[in-house]
């Protein structure tokens, strides 16, 4: 009975529409830690520069719900929030966008139950991107494209891997080692960038400058 109610709830919602080609998407990802009021303050401050905030944390469902409520109470736009893999947070906070790790088997179940849900996925290989296209996902994160401190022992995707990935017809967001110095080195074809450090540490003014750099790059 609960599933039926939830399905009816989502059938009345209109999924977010990605206007790729119109603008570059900046997707902020939360640090993988317990989030605080200071994080709320920061993300609300840079909200006008970012297009989405992806919440990926080790906090339990109730803690995430409370944090999201705090975010919304501070007037952060609901349609800019993406939650990593927890459908219960989506329901309780009246959200409509969810993100999954690469090839998560739960993706198809969510698609079947909530057809209007915006669904995205992390990818590291072209085959995973092709699978995301096959599944009809809204976009993918792909990386890491540059060396990054979050993956110190792992080699970035090779130039040939990136080129092959960008041949697949699905919006692809670059992730990994992207900052004000590496942004202009990104190959053409990406629909946006995502990151943890840059969006957690950079000021609104610095992020605006990065968007200007990107506009000049593409």
Per-residue burial over 101-111, b if 16 or more Cβ lie within 10 Å, else e, is ebbeeebeebe
Distance between first and last Cα of the chain: 49
Tens-digit pLDDT string for the chain (218 aa):
334 334 433 443 433 444 444 457 899 999 999 999 999 999 999 999 999 999 999 999 999 999 999 999 999 999 999 999 999 999 999 999 999 999 999 999 999 999 999 999 999 999 999 999 999 999 999 998 988 777 666 787 888 999 999 999 999 999 999 998 899 889 889 999 999 999 999 999 999 998 888 776 65
* pTM confidence score: 0.89
- Topology of domain 20-217, per CATH? TIM Barrel (3.20.20)
- Domain residue spans of the chain: 20-217
| Gap between the Cα atoms of 212 and 186, Å rounded | 14
Name which of 191, 154, 149, 193 is nearest 175 in CA terms: 193
């Amino acid at each position: 009975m609960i599933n039926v109610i939830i399905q009816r709830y989502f059938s009345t919602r209109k999924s977010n529409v990605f206007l790729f080609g119109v603008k570059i998407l900046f997707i902020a990802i939360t640090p993988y830690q317990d989030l605080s009021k200071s994080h709320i303050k920061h993300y609300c401050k840079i909200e006008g520069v970012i297009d989405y905030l992806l919440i990926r944390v080790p906090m339990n469902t109730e803690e995430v719900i409370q944090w999201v409520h705090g975010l919304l109470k501070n007037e952060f736009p609901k349609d800019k929030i993406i939650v990593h893999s927890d459908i219960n947070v989506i329901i309780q906070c009246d959200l409509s966008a969810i993100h999954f790790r690469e090839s998560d088997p739960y993706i198809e179940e969510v698609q079947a139950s909530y057809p209007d849900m915006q669904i995205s996925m992390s990818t590291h290989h072209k085959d995973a991107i092709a699978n995301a296209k096959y599944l009809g996902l809204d976009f993918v994160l792909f990386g890491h494209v540059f060396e990054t401190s979050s993956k110190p022992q792992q080699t970035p995707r090779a130039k040939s891997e990136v080129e092959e990935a960008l041949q697949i017809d699905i919006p692809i967001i670059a992730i990994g080692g992207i900052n004000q110095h590496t942004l202009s080195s990104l190959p053409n074809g990406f629909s946006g960038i995502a990151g943890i450090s840059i969006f957690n540490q950079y000021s609104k003014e610095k992020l605006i400058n990065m968007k200007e750099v990107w506009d000049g790059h593409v």
